Amino acid sequence: TKWVYTFGDGKAEGQSAMRNLLGGKGANLAEMSNLGLPVPPGFTITTEVCTYFYDHGREYPPELQEQVDTALAAVGALTGRRFGDAEMPLLVSVRSGARASMPGMMDTVLNLGLNDVTVEALAGSAGDPRFAYDSYRRFITMYSSVVLGVEHHAFEEVLERYKETKGHTLDTDLSAQDWKHLIGEYKALVKRELGEEFPQDPQAQLWGAIGAVFGSWMNPRANKYRELHNIPASWGTAVNVQAMVFGNMGDTSATGVAFTRNPSTGEKALYGEFLINAQGEDVVAGIRTPQDITEAARIESGSDKPSMEKAMPEAYAELVRIYGLLENHYRDMQDMEFTVETGKLWMLQTRNGKRTAKAALRIAVELAGEGLITHEEAVGRVEPASLDQLLHPTIDPKAERQVIATGLPASPGAACGEIVFNSEEAEAAKKAERKVILVRVETSPEDIHGMHAAEGILTTRGGMTSHAAVVARGMGKPCVSGAGAIRVDYAARTLSVGGVTLKAGDVVTIDGSNGQVIRGEMPMLEPELSGDFATLMGWADAVRTMKVRANAETPADARAARTFGAEGIGLSRTEHMFFDEGRITAVREMILSDDAEGRRAALAKLLPYQRADFVELFTIMSGLPVTIRLLDPPLHEFLPKEEEVGAFAAETGLSADKLRRRMTELHETNPMLGFRGCRLAILFPEIAEMQARAIFEAAVEAGKRTGEPVIPEVMVPLVFTKAEFDLVKARIDAMAKAVSQETGTQVEYQVGTMIELPRAALRAGDIAETAEFFSFGTNDLTQTTLGISRDDAGTFLGPYAKNGILSADPFVSIDQEGVGELVKLGVERGRAVRPGIKLGICGEHGGDPDSIAFCQEVGLDYVSCSPYRVPIARLAAAQAAL
């Protein structure tokens, strides 16, 4: 088996299409080599080795050693050096690279191959020996923490103490002699911690580092990251071994990261940061404040440090040439890592850059405009779920802001909440349903869970590519980074800036679009839905074949639904209209009366309310279909509580004893499987009749008002047999006739049913004989198919997902194999009997992209979801149709 693939010198054994085997980083290093770009030579150990490693008790395939030796010799030949050589030593980096990018999640070791002998050779060969010792001390630190398990901060402490005694502030102030001295201290530290010398044998170093990268695939951070991003553990990581180039060789050397377009806004301009005389991890770690790449960005940021464009014009010109080339080649925005060694630019990584939803929209629309991609491809470029970010509120610009500090606008959107200073508190607050802003000096991968729990993130150190910034953008959370004026005191749990001191629990607002930190809670504004958003949604609508409707009953929700582009209402839950003041008493009277007479009296009070609700709904949705579901509550949701019985009796003049007796009669052990849905309408037909009357009278009135015909779709819930449906339908038809006669207007309508019980799906053929439409109620269908009550599933669904028993929460994403099978059967059997039957889905799944793809596959006519998810559903439905 071939386990190792080489790259460098204008060619490579791999290419970008081989990302499953080579990992994203390895595949793109190969691709860049093939394109003739300046990439330091190296080789990739495949993801298959990782899989082998874990399948064989952490052993390597027997042929691996030889293949690595051969590849390493080839790299040496290209660089004129030899690994471990005392005169011309080859130094390498050992870099992880999974199939899906996992930024900062895995460990990298730089400057490998240095020891007490090779460091002298390096010092002798360079103009300035300082860089050799600087590299060695970096190597000892990295290798010790990544491979040997000595804590990074132990080295930091030694360094800080030394800088203090010498009166230095910056690492760059330290001389060759200083580093030489520190190397001695570092080695002593390792000896103290481990009882062993720091490994001097380059071969031992190399295999130690390779083992550590494979080992890091299963470390807790990587596991957590995969869990959050649904990356299977079986994918494995590749290991890249690559000749070092040095950004720390003095003032003509540098290291940096750049995006071909702005990852926050999508603006087409080279964007990024770099540091002179530094190595890769310095930029991300936020130890020194990085400099801008372009002069335009420097002017905008007001930085007094020169841009790369000014400081290194040749390397900059080369970067500009390469970025254009890469973007054209990949036809997408690229996120690049580079190093300049004594004036020469080297490319170390490229990948499709992560971006905010706003940037994703703009980039997709502009790439299409530039003719680089088609409209359909543009539609496929935006993650539907990410649109959620754009639907987030921003701070009302008219509101007065008490800005206490300004950092970098690291991830857009505004958020407010109570201050917390660590991730554990953030998580605890989230559990208690409190909103918090996570405030840290800087974040590390250990903070992921806290960042998830927080509404927004504020750091006092680090740039636009710091950990906090990158991760927050990925999560779609507002983030302000590097607000350096703020002093955080973790022990006192306070932050202070310009004479203001805030404690944990005090409320702040952050504006991730301009970097402001604002005291107190700010009024927010609803998002703008024009521009790129409208353009891309237009393209999505053009390819989409399923309709998208909304679940809505209140006028506010119906209006929001229309704004977001809903093409009708797929589910209007009439019971939600019964809780309002003035109505609930009548509802209770209706339920608690023990004869039809009493029920009719109570219903007569409800009729005008219902009619008015429907008139408003039909008017707002004028011209679009509206599905109204007849009353479907478990009755207990409406009953007065024991302590309310006295007051209720007094209010209605009923006897409290009689009320209690009736409540006992109505008591159910399993209300969700009890007297609800069409069962109510069958035993108390007057309820369905009142609702039907309200619907039809409202349709006539709204039709007159708007001049558009209103065709309500009346939906009968929770049937399991045709006989139930027919009984209720007969009442509805009779009422339609009555209202037509009374008003002299022919009412047009449809009557259909929800398919939300397994038996209904199985008998869909019979039911379709009389039902004109089906709406799959996959919430109840999931509950009844899996025998799981959604409200009681909390204790075991989490562990089920963790142990791989369920791949996703079946209430979030439809269980395609089980519940989905029933939906498929229902579709087939329903269509066989009534070919034109209208088929839709309502419930949570209607707004979930994976479930929407499934709906497309089984051939539904529409999905219906909550108003705020309508844009997500429109885009997901378009992608499903591509």
Catalytic residues: 467, 842
What distance in Å separates the CA atoms of residue 253 and residue 527, rounded to the nearest whole number? 44
Does 443 sit near ligand ADP (CB under 6 A)? Answer: no
SS3 call for 146? helix
Instruction: Tell me the per-residue interface mask from 750 to 769 with Mg ion, x by CB under 5 A, - otherwise.
Output: ------x-------------
Instruction: Tell me the per-residue interface mask from 29 to 48 with ligand ADP, x by CB under 6 A, - otherwise.
Output: -----------x--------
Report whether 804 contacts 838 (CB < 8 A). Answer: no
What distance in Å separates the CA atoms of residue 404 and residue 515, rounded to the nearest whole number? 11
Closest distance of CB 566 from Mg ion, Å: 20
Closest distance of CB 334 from Mg ion, Å: 13
Neighbours of 775 (CB within 10 A): 28
777 binds, options Mg ion, ligand ADP, none, Cβ within 5 to 8 A by partner type: Mg ion
- With CB under 6 A as the contact rule, which of the stretches 236-244, 362-370, 652-660, 689-697 interacts with ligand ADP? 236-244
Does 497 sit near ligand ADP (CB under 6 A)? Answer: no
Q: Kindly state the number of chain residues that form the binding site for Mg ion, as judged by CB under 5 A.
A: 5
Q: Identify which of residues 110 and 387 has a Cβ nearer to ligand ADP in the complex.
A: 110
**For 419, phi and psi rounded to 5 degrees?**
-75, 130
Whole-Å CA distances, 402 to 411, 416, 418, 419, 777: 21, 13, 16, 16, 48
Q: Identify which of residues 336 and 842 has a Cβ nearer to ligand ADP in the complex.
A: 336
Closest CA to 345 of 309, 308, 315, 321: 315
Q: Identify which of residues 108 and 265 has a Cβ nearer to ligand ADP in the complex.
A: 108
95 binds, options Mg ion, ligand ADP, none, Cβ within 5 to 8 A by partner type: ligand ADP
Closest distance of CB 45 from Mg ion, Å: 17
What distance in Å separates the CA atoms of residue 627 and residue 682, rounded to the nearest whole number? 20
Q: Identify which of residues 281 and 733 has a Cβ nearer to Mg ion in the complex.
A: 281
780 binds, options ligand ADP, Mg ion, none, Cβ within 5 to 8 A by partner type: Mg ion
- With CB under 6 A as the contact rule, which of the stretches 102-110, 370-378, 550-558, 868-876 interacts with ligand ADP? 102-110
What distance in Å separates the CA atoms of residue 760 and residue 774, rounded to the nearest whole number? 10
Closest distance of CB 348 from ligand ADP, Å: 5
Query: ∠ CA 631-633-639 to the nearest 5 degrees?
Result: 115
Closest distance of CB 256 from ligand ADP, Å: 8
Closest distance of CB 394 from Mg ion, Å: 32
Instruction: Tell me the per-residue interface mask from 406 to 435 with ligand ADP, x by CB under 6 A, - otherwise.
Output: ------------------------------
**For 241, phi and psi rounded to 5 degrees?**
-115, 125
Does 714 sit near ligand ADP (CB under 6 A)? Answer: no
Does 339 sit near ligand ADP (CB under 6 A)? Answer: yes
265 binds, options Mg ion, ligand ADP, none, Cβ within 5 to 8 A by partner type: none
Report the site for Mg ion in 305-344 (rule: CB under 5 A): 337
- In one letter, which amino acid is 441? V
Closest distance of CB 25 from Mg ion, Å: 7
Does 394 sit near ligand ADP (CB under 6 A)? Answer: no
339 binds, options Mg ion, ligand ADP, none, Cβ within 5 to 8 A by partner type: ligand ADP
Distance of CA 102 to the CA centre of its chain: 14
SS3 content of the chain, % helix, strand, coil (to 5): 50, 15, 35
SS3 call for 551? strand
What distance in Å separates the CA atoms of residue 156 and residue 146, rounded to the nearest whole number? 15
Does 349 sit near Mg ion (CB under 5 A)? Answer: yes
Closest CA to 763 of 855, 683, 828, 680: 828
Among 107, 613, 780, 848, binds Mg ion (CB under 5 A): 780
Report whether 25 contacts 39 (CB < 8 A). Answer: no
Beta strands in 361-511 (DSSP E): 394-395, 403-406, 408-411, 414-420, 436-440, 456-459, 479-481, 487-489, 494-497, 500-503, 507-511
Closest distance of CB 103 from Mg ion, Å: 7
Torsion of CA 424, 429, 431, 437, to 10 degrees: -90
Closest CA to 590 of 691, 505, 512: 691
Q: Identify which of residues 104 and 413 has a Cβ nearer to ligand ADP in the complex.
A: 104
633: Cβ contacts below 8 Å, ≥ 6 apart: 575, 578, 676
Report whether 91 contacts 75 (CB < 8 A). Answer: no
What distance in Å separates the CA atoms of residue 325 and residue 331, rounded to the nearest whole number? 10
Distance of CA 277 to the CA centre of its chain: 36
Task: Provide the pairing of β-strand 838-842 with 773-777.
Answer: parallel
759: Cβ contacts below 8 Å, ≥ 6 apart: 720, 721
610 binds, options ligand ADP, Mg ion, none, Cβ within 5 to 8 A by partner type: none
Neighbours of 738 (CB within 10 A): 15
244 binds, options ligand ADP, Mg ion, none, Cβ within 5 to 8 A by partner type: ligand ADP
Closest distance of CB 221 from ligand ADP, Å: 12
Report whether 429 contacts 449 (CB < 8 A). Answer: no
- In one letter, which amino acid is 139? F
Report whether 734 contacts 759 (CB < 8 A). Answer: no
Does 110 sit near ligand ADP (CB under 6 A)? Answer: yes
Q: Identify which of residues 146 and 348 has a Cβ nearer to ligand ADP in the complex.
A: 348
**Residue of this chain nearest to Mg ion (CB atom):** 780
692 binds, options Mg ion, ligand ADP, none, Cβ within 5 to 8 A by partner type: none
CA atoms in the 13 A half-sphere facing the CB of 191: 8
Instruction: Tell me the per-residue interface mask from 243 to 282 with ligand ADP, x by CB under 6 A, - otherwise.
Output: xxx---------x------------------------xx-
Among 23, 26, 104, 634, binds ligand ADP (CB under 6 A): 104
Does 348 sit near ligand ADP (CB under 6 A)? Answer: yes
Closest distance of CB 785 from Mg ion, Å: 13
Instruction: Tell me the per-residue interface mask from 54 to 93 with ligand ADP, x by CB under 6 A, - otherwise.
Output: ---------------------------------------x
Instruction: Tell me the per-residue interface mask from 27 to 46 with Mg ion, x by CB under 5 A, - otherwise.
Output: --------------------
Q: Identify which of residues 83 and 614 has a Cβ nearer to ligand ADP in the complex.
A: 83
Closest distance of CB 101 from ligand ADP, Å: 8
- In one letter, which amino acid is 674? G
Angle (deg, nearest 10), helices 152-166 and 176-194 = 140
Does 463 sit near Mg ion (CB under 5 A)? Answer: no
Report the site for ligand ADP in 318-337 (rule: CB under 6 A): 337
DSSP secondary structure of 67-119: HHHHHHHHHHHHHT-EET-SSSEE-EEEEEEESS--TTTS--EEEET--TTHH
Among 16, 46, 242, 253, binds ligand ADP (CB under 6 A): 242
Report whether 113 contacts 205 (CB < 8 A). Answer: yes
Closest CA to 259 of 81, 99, 473, 82: 473
Q: Kindly state the number of chain residues that form the binding site for ligand ADP, as judged by CB under 6 A.
A: 17
Closest distance of CB 287 from ligand ADP, Å: 14
- With CB under 6 A as the contact rule, which of the stretches 133-141, 239-247, 427-435, 551-559 interacts with ligand ADP? 239-247
Closest distance of CB 377 from ligand ADP, Å: 27
40 binds, options ligand ADP, Mg ion, none, Cβ within 5 to 8 A by partner type: ligand ADP
The binding site for ligand ADP (CB under 6 A) comprises 40, 93, 95, 104, 108, 110, 242-245, 255, 280-281, 337, 339, 348-349
The binding site for Mg ion (CB under 5 A) comprises 337, 349, 756, 777, 780
